Amino acid sequence: MKVSYNWLKDYLDLTTAPKALAEKITRTGIEVADVAQKSAGLKKIVVGHILSCQPHPDSDHLNVCQVDVGEDEPFQIVCGASNVAVGQYVVVALPNSRIADNVKIKKGKLRGVVSMGMICGLQEIGFADSVVPKVYVDGIFVFPEAIEPGTEVYEALGMTDYIIDLDLTANRADALGLHGVAHEVAAIESLTPHFEDVVVTESDVQTADHLAAYVADEQLAPSYHLRMLQNVTVQPSPMWLQTRLWNAGIRPINNLVDVTNYMMLTYGQPLHAFDADTLKGDHKQVEVRLAKAGEKLTTLDEAEHALTHEDIVITDGHQPIALAGVMGGLNSQITADTKNVIIEAAVFEPTAVRKTAQRHNLRSDASSRFEKGVNIADVQTALDAAAAMMADLGHGQVTAGIISPTNLIPSDKVIEIEADRINRVLGTELATQTIVELLERFGFGVANTDNRLTVTIPPRRWDIEIQADVIEEVARLYGYDNLPSTLPTGAMTTGALTPEQKALRQTRHTLEGAGLTQAISYALTTPEKARQFTLVDSALTALDWPMTQDHAHLRMNLITGLLDDAAYNVARKQTNLALYEQGRVFLKQTDDQVRPTEIEYVAGLMSGNRQTKTWQTAAAPVDFYTIKGVVELLMTSYNLSDPISYQPTQAYPEMHPGRTAAIYVGKQLVGFVGQIHPAVAKANHLKETYVFQLDLAQILALPTQTVIAKPAPKFPAVTRDIAIQVASQVSNAAIVEAIKAKGGAHLASVELFDVYAGSHIEAGEKSMAYTLTYLNETATLTEEEVNAAFEKVVAELVATFDAKIR
Amino acid sequence: MSLKEQLENLRQTSLQEIQKVVDLDALNQIRVEVLGKKGPITEVLRGMRNLSNEERPKVGAFANEIKSDLAEAIETRKAELEAKKAAAQLAHETLDVTLPGQSIKKGTPHVLTQVIDDLEDLFVGMGYQVVAGYEVEDERHNFEMLNMPANHPARDMQDTFYITNDLLMRTHMSPNEARDLENHDFKNGPIKMISPGRVYRRDTDDATHSHQFYQMEGQVIDKNITMADLKGTLEYTIHHIFGEDRDLRFRPSYFPFTEPSVEVDISCFRCDGKGCNVCKQTGWIEVLGAGMTHPNVLKAGGVDADVYGGFAFGLGIDRFAMLKYGVDDIRNFYLNDVRFLNQFTQEG
């Protein structure tokens, strides 16, 4: 809502300067987005009187004008506008002037003819296209009346006025009219607004003899009123009216339409004017009803709309002539030839107006007001004021009587509240009298009975309904900045993260410690991506009405997001990647399950080099064992009771069939780790890429072991190395298991330190070398004890795997 | 030459040799030669048999004196040479300390996570609980219980990702406040909770809009919670995040679930309030919305609005991160360009 400071001064004896007032308005309740004068930054732009206008000798569209700009001699100015003509009073940018966008105008030559400046269109001095009167959109602006040449144009064009741009919240539609804003500013400034009474002079002609109106369902238009004017003359509005409109962001059209807009700006009450003679029949009918299927209406913007039975329309008894509260129909619009006018002032059902405006993509100044509500006390006032002004500006007569098929009787609202309650909510200690005075500044009636306040709210503040609303009025006028600043007291609470929240953080820290950077990807994805890399079977969850197909389904894995991230990075030559994501997947056990289960997962991705080439070390590419090391580190960090094992799996079609391990805790499958299938990698424009994905929720629910401290061993450990040659398909896990099974009571650990397969060994065989560490925590181990235990292991390996000891 | 003279000569020549010698092996050779059993001193002492009983002790004492002088000279020289050798060794071991160290890589927490963790720690310290909730919510918790009944503009299809008529991607973190009100038993004390998390809006992704982003909501409900408490809490939070030197501006505002409502601006940290393109020439940057919990919200949560009341606040994590670090495009948070992510190397 663009509010003119000068217009406000019609109602208030303002003394506070515009910018200071804007800051006060912001701090009291309505955010001011901007305060500006249109003339700011402009220089040397004056009224010129065109004394002569001759075609340019070397041009088919330029004219050479002699223009009186208030100097001793006329200035010669070359003008390219098609509407330039002798006798006009126009906007002249003199040499060395500054026009919009900080453009400087200099004396120059146009095709050899000296031009002392420029004759301007309104856009050239900073007006938006959308507010310039249609006749001047493509040419220069022409003043409707004579103005002393050489006078600066700013005053005449309303450009010195300060425009305060209010950013209104949805509840403050009362400030969508200047009267409402005046009440607000009056409260802030402790002033009393004065509004002129509306006086309508009616003719002897009875409106009812010419016009009837019906509202099919009172819900659609609970308050509906029509007035009629006869014998009006359509012409441009006077300058004062035009400037007020364009300063408010509305294009002046003609005196009738301008009046409806002016009254909308004044009262916040949208009005509509119909050309009465375009309605069917002699005795005119206006009907408010829901549209019928198949009905069409071409609105003022010349767009045709197929109406639905949810649209409220105004008809002339035969066909729609307006979309109620949204936009008028082209068929009944005011034209230059209009003689008789019907003015409509109404209250329409807000939701229907909003939905109609949305459905037909027709949000207008009117619809945005109707959908938020209007002051029901001013509906007829606005109608009367419009009729009176139209009669005045259009030299017509207002017929006698208003046609009102529906009407709302405005009434005050009464809210009772203890002064103490206000202080208790705000944390203040305001005297009751102070509270009363604050509320009275809004123009509310306040009765105080033993600190119990009875607050009477006029209809113009329909946003105030409950005690909390009254408390807010007190608070904001008292000033939020003046409220004390404390912290909540009362019963103590302990703040702490839950064990699960701690574990999620620990998971992140562990992975970051292992060199992985956290990614956050989109949870909405394509069905193909949603379905890949799933740990368990799940039905897909789809959005009903997605914005794009790329984000239309809920993810069921975290890896595809990381693959997107990897592809994005690789495309930007970032090829050494170590990323993880911790977040939720959305799973459904069956298609019948409506609400998906949200499960915390964690996934990682590594690609390229884990170690880049340095002066000391060669580059080392990421491989299966790199990422497995990360997973092992992470899994160990949970301190789970059950053993963790890795088993080869081909269960995941997107993973490499020979390089993927399913991860088990005890017998529970909790995730997988491995290389993504080369075909999948290729499809994502990736090279060798390794990933893991874990069901974190499941892991965090598993039993953990409690640490019971033991002293560091007092007796030395003894080690024995063994290298065996076995068939290449024998797994490390099987060998270690066998060693442990026969290792004896003192075998403390088994560490693999070498794996070899190659030219020094028979084909189909490999060599594996382990260090076995023996430790007796209560005594020194003897050679004999260790040898005996070691021999058992050797014998077992020979027997079980046909191992050759090397 | 008398024995004494011989000894004196020996002393002189040996001392000279000791001073001349430059390596430890040669010094040891001298020690063996001079002080050893076959050495000249021993030789001299052997000749003492021929001396008188008077002279013998004197020469013997003199010989021993020379012996100990030479031994001392050798030890001194040995220490010198050893020190030199050690110094040479250290000089030999000198490294170019400006060469880079072995790189140890640590991953970086996402900047949004850093902001969330920071806020969580702050509020946990003030006795708040952290609540997670559901990303897929129902209309009742997302709208209905928050004083946004059917036909409320905020419930329009175009702003919300619906899954069914009743299920949707949560559009804010406030449903967790409703859930908390619903589930809380005030016998266990007041409600003090925050809820950071991921929310969704039906927006086209551009520099300032994202269909997915992060918010944090918080609420305190008890018997005597005031708007002054809200103000104090917000001041503490904002100063913690944006610095103690920021001016704050509390503006009345409107949210369906709070009344009175407030929006908080901070003085622009780029221009310090003078006006620049970060603050759109206003000198202020909006950071947060809050208010006193609307009685309808309390009632919907089964809480007696005459007895209990409190405040709620909500802030955009992405917005905080954008402001704090000068990020000008929200999409950066979700594209995960490692060059972008890795600049936020440590929590701060």
Could you say which architecture CATH assigns to the domain A202-406?
A: 3-Layer(bba) Sandwich (3.50)
Report the alpha-carbon distance of residue B145 to residue A224 in Å, rounded: 34
Q: Which tens digit of pLDDT belongs to each residue from B250-298? A: 999 999 999 999 999 998 887 888 888 878 888 888 889 999 999 999 9
pLDDT band at A183, cuts 50/70/90? very high
Report the alpha-carbon distance of residue A662 to residue A511 in Å, rounded: 19
Class of domain A499-700: alpha beta
Chain A touched by B150 (CB under 8 Å) = no
List the end-to-end C-alpha distance of chain A, in Å, as a whole number. 90
| Residue A66 exposed, middle or buried by CB count within 10 Å (0-12, 13-18, 19+) | middle
Residues of A in contact with B281 (CB under 8 A): 34
| Residue A203 exposed, middle or buried by CB count within 10 Å (0-12, 13-18, 19+) | middle
Class of domain A414-482: alpha beta
Q: Smallest Cα–Cα separation from B151: which of A219, A525, A798?
A: A219
CATH topology assigned to domain A2-38+162-189: Phenylalanyl-tRNA Synthetase; Chain B, domain 1 (3.30.56)
AA letter at A602: V
Place of tokens 């079977």: A537
Hey, what are A467's tokens? 């005690």
Q: Quick check: do A414-482 and A718-805 share a fold? A: no
* Residues of A (620-649) whose Cβ lies below 8 Å from B: none
Does residue A575 register a pLDDT over 60?
Answer: yes
H or E stretch including A354? helix A350-359
* Inter-chain CB proximity B212 and A522 less than 8 Å: yes
Task: Please count the CA atoms within 13 angstroms of the CA of A71 that sit on its side-chain side.
Answer: 14
Q: Which tens digit of pLDDT belongs to each residue from A493-518? A: 888 999 999 999 999 999 999 999 99
Within its chain, how far is the Cα of A622 from the centroid? 42
* Inter-chain CB proximity A519 and B336 less than 8 Å: yes
* Residues of B (79-108) whose Cβ lies below 8 Å from A: 99-100, 102-103, 105-108
CATH topology assigned to domain A718-805: Alpha-Beta Plaits (3.30.70)
Residues of A in contact with B150 (CB under 8 A): none
Full-model pTM? 0.87
Report the alpha-carbon distance of residue A23 to residue A28 in Å, rounded: 9
In percent, the amount of chain A with pLDDT more than 70 equals 100
Burial letters for A610-646: b for 16+ Cβ neighbours within 10 Å, e otherwise? Answer: bbeeeeeeeeeebebebbbebbbebbeebebeeebeb
pLDDT at B65: 86
Comparing alpha-carbon positions, the chain A residue that sits nearest to B335 is A565
Report the alpha-carbon distance of residue A607 to residue A610 in Å, rounded: 8
* Pairing assessment for the beta strands A223-230 and A312-315 based on DSSP bridges: unpaired
Q: Smallest Cα–Cα separation from B331: which of B195, B160, B203?
A: B203
Report domain extents, chain A.
2-38+162-189, 43-136, 202-406, 414-482, 499-700, 718-805
Report the alpha-carbon distance of residue B345 to residue B108 in Å, rounded: 6
Q: Are B34 and B70 in contact (CB under 8 A)?
A: yes
Q: Which tens digit of pLDDT belongs to each residue from A272-306? A: 999 999 999 889 999 999 999 899 999 999 999 99
Distances from the Cα of B122 to the Cα of A319, B43, B127, B314, B320, angstroms: 64, 89, 9, 15, 15
Does residue A81 register a pLDDT over 60?
Answer: yes
Q: Which of A483, A507, A509 to mutate to test the interface with B (most CBs of B within 10 A)?
A: A483
Chain B touched by A605 (CB under 8 Å) = no
Q: Are A561 and A519 in contact (CB under 8 A)?
A: yes
DSSP B158-196: GGS-BSSSSEEE-SSSTHHHHHHHHH--GGG--EEEEEE
Q: Which DSSP state fits A774?
A: E
Q: Which DSSP state fits B101?
A: P
Report the alpha-carbon distance of residue A657 to residue A676 in Å, rounded: 9
Residues of B in contact with A425 (CB under 8 A): 226-227, 292, 309
Hey, what are A576's tokens? 């050494």
Comparing alpha-carbon positions, the chain A residue that sits nearest to B249 is A481
* Inter-chain CB proximity A490 and B169 less than 8 Å: no
Strand, helix or coil for residue B316: strand
Chain B touched by A555 (CB under 8 Å) = no
Chain A touched by B283 (CB under 8 Å) = no
Q: Give the pLDDT mean for A589-616.
A: 93
Partners of A290 in the beta sheet? Answer: A312
Report the alpha-carbon distance of residue A797 to residue A735 in Å, rounded: 7
| Residue A299 exposed, middle or buried by CB count within 10 Å (0-12, 13-18, 19+) | buried
Does residue A257 register a pLDDT over 80?
Answer: yes
pLDDT at B38: 78
Comparing alpha-carbon positions, the chain B residue that sits nearest to A616 is B102
Q: Are A242 and A265 in contact (CB under 8 A)?
A: no
Hey, what are A685's tokens? 């424009």
Report the alpha-carbon distance of residue A188 to residue A27 in Å, rounded: 10
| Residue B56 exposed, middle or buried by CB count within 10 Å (0-12, 13-18, 19+) | middle
Q: Which of A168, A486, A508, A588 to mutate to test the interface with B (most CBs of B within 10 A)?
A: A486
Provide Rg for chain A, Cα atoms.
Answer: 41
Q: Give the pLDDT mean for A58-77.
A: 92
Q: Smallest Cα–Cα separation from A516: which of A584, A606, A600?
A: A606
Q: Smallest Cα–Cα separation from A277: which of A235, A238, A306, A234?
A: A234
- The ipTM of this complex is 0.88
Comparing alpha-carbon positions, the chain A residue that sits nearest to B346 is A512
Strand, helix or coil for residue A299: strand
Mean of the per-residue pLDDT values of chain A = 94
Shortest Cα distance, chain B CAs vs residue A701, angstroms: 17
pLDDT at B346: 58
Task: Please count the CA atoms within 13 angstroms of the CA of A552 that sit on its side-chain side.
Answer: 10
Report the alpha-carbon distance of residue A392 to residue B242 in Å, rounded: 58
Of B112, B224, B282, the CB nearest to A490: B224
Chain A touched by B346 (CB under 8 Å) = no
* Inter-chain CB proximity A493 and B107 less than 8 Å: no
Q: How many CB atoms are located within 10 Å of the residue A88 CB?
A: 18
Q: Which residues contact A397 (CB under 8 A, 6 or more apart)?
A: A202, A203, A205, A229, A230, A231, A391
* Inter-chain CB proximity A494 and B127 less than 8 Å: yes
In percent, the amount of chain A with pLDDT more than 90 equals 90
Report the alpha-carbon distance of residue A421 to residue A470 in Å, rounded: 11
pLDDT band at B157, cuts 50/70/90? low
Q: Which residues contact A357 (CB under 8 A, 6 or more apart)?
A: A326, A363, A364, A367, A368, A371
Report the alpha-carbon distance of residue A308 to residue A324 in Å, rounded: 13
Does residue B348 register a pLDDT over 80?
Answer: no
Please report the beta strands in A361-449, taking only residues with DSSP state E, as ranges in sequence order: 397-400, 403-406, 413-418, 445-449
Burial letters for A382-419: b for 16+ Cβ neighbours within 10 Å, e otherwise? Answer: bbbbbbbbbbebbebbbbbbbbbbbbeebeebebebeb
Q: Are A606 and A617 in contact (CB under 8 A)?
A: no
* Residues of A (493-512) whose Cβ lies below 8 Å from B: 493-498, 501, 505, 508, 511-512
The CATH code for residues A43-136 is: 2.40.50.140
Hey, what are B287's tokens? 């950071």
Cα angle vertex A660, ends A657, A663, to 5°? 140
Q: Which DSSP state fits A782?
A: P
H or E stretch including B228? helix B227-242
Distances from the Cα of A24 to the Cα of A18, A21, A501, A585, angstroms: 10, 5, 44, 49
